[in-house]
Amino acid sequence: MTRDYLVQLLDAYWFAPPVALWRAIELRAVGELEYERPLLDLGCGDGLIGQIAFGTGPQVEVGLDPWLDQLRQAAAVGIYRHVDQGIGHALPYADGSFSTVFSNSVLEHIPEVAPVLHEVSRVLRPGGRFVFTVPSDAFPEMLDGYALRMAAGDPRGAAAYVSATDERLEHHHYHTPQEWAALLSDAGMALQRANYYMPSDVERFWDRVDRRWAGSGHPRRLRGWVWRALVSPRLRPLGHQQVLRRLVVAYLRRRWRPHYDTEVNPGAKGGGLLVVAQRKE
């Protein structure tokens, strides 16, 4: 039976519900796969995604991230047997250390991805798999702000909207499955599958609510500012945030259910891409 990630992600990211929606749909895609151990979570962040994806307890051998504050949180979550500080293009592991390398929404933040792919290939055992998610080549044109500007006959405004989104999210590239296949092959890995997730209408909804909750667009700037103040860690001692958390989960688990449940139609593209590659023997 397919797991329901929506409630889990809303509970984990109640302070940023659009993040919860995207991650829930993302983990539904990766949750269909089996993961052979030992496993490296490349760019593990605070460990919340690893915990939800792989279960409670020390289920994952290693979590790696460049940011020490994130690693401290990942270590406290308890999903990793070991955490390391490091960068993707210089992995601190011997050749053939892992059967699986997993990376969730990390590679798009790295300007030069080819050296990272070579390092992943090096630390994988022959036949080992690299499983990762990234925004797809369709992500920019599926943004609601892009689509609205194009419909209004404003291609320059649409391009500017994508550029602003890239700057805010720190996205550096959007490769097609064919481009990923070539990059992976150069690194000694063969593409096994590349599946789109996040249908166009769901990404457009996500983009709208992301702007609303972030307070990045008029007339909702004040609402976004108030929300950021309410969820600030500095106000945690006031005790109101647990109530907010329960309200967010209870309300959005129903309102956002249709968006979570919507699948990409066969043959269509989606805003996210799940890629599985295998190291060549």
pLDDT digits (tens, 9 = 90+) for 171-228: 999 999 999 999 999 999 999 999 999 999 999 999 999 988 765 444 445 456 666 6
Query: What is the band of 240 on the pLDDT scale with cuts at 50, 70, 90?
Result: confident
| pTM for this prediction | 0.92
Q: Looking at the 3D structure of the chain, how many domains does it have?
A: 1
Query: What is the band of 118 on the pLDDT scale with cuts at 50, 70, 90?
Result: very high
Residue 256 lies in a domain: no
Residue 152 lies in a domain: no
Query: What is the band of 57 on the pLDDT scale with cuts at 50, 70, 90?
Result: confident
Q: Which domain holds residue 278?
A: 33-138+174-199+265-281
Neighbour-count burial of 167, counting CB atoms closer than 10 A to its CB (0-12 exposed, 13-18 middle, 19+ buried): exposed
Is the predicted pLDDT of residue 127 greater than 80, yes or no?
yes
Q: How many CA atoms lie within 13 A of 204 on its CB side?
A: 11
Long-range contacts at 2-9 (CB < 8 A, ≥ 24 apart): 2/28, 2/31, 2/32, 3/28, 3/31, 5/31, 5/52, 5/260, 6/253, 6/256, 6/257, 6/260, 7/249, 7/253, 8/52, 9/52
Q: What is the mean pLDDT of residues 94-111?
A: 97
Residue 58 lies in a domain: yes
Residues 6+ apart with CB under 8 A from 170: 109
- Count of beta carbons in the 10 Å neighbourhood of residue 141: 16
**Which carries the bigger pLDDT value, residue 170 or residue 223?**
170
Is the predicted pLDDT of residue 237 greater than 80, yes or no?
no
Residue 66 lies in a domain: yes
Q: What is the mean pLDDT of residues 131-139?
A: 98
> Encoding tokens for residue 21?
């929606």
For residue range 136-162, what is the model confidence (pLDDT) as tens digits? 999 999 999 999 999 999 999 999 999
At CA 87, angle to CA 29 and CA 70, rounded to 5?
A: 70
Residue 59, SS3 per DSSP: coil
Characterize 251-276 residue by residue with b for buried, 16 or more Cβ atoms within 10 angstroms of its Cβ, and e for exposed: ebbeebeebbebebeeeebbbbbbbb
Residue 124 lies in a domain: yes
pLDDT of residue 92: 97
Residue 7 lies in a domain: no
Instruction: Give which of 128, 131, 124, 117 is closest to 194, Cα–Cα.
Output: 131
Residue 246 lies in a domain: no
Residue 25 lies in a domain: no
Gap between the Cα atoms of 223 and 216, Å rounded: 10
CATH label of the domain that carries residue 130: 3.40.50.150
Phi/psi of residue 153, nearest 5 degrees: 75, 35
Query: What is the band of 268 on the pLDDT scale with cuts at 50, 70, 90?
Result: very high
Average pLDDT, the chain: 92
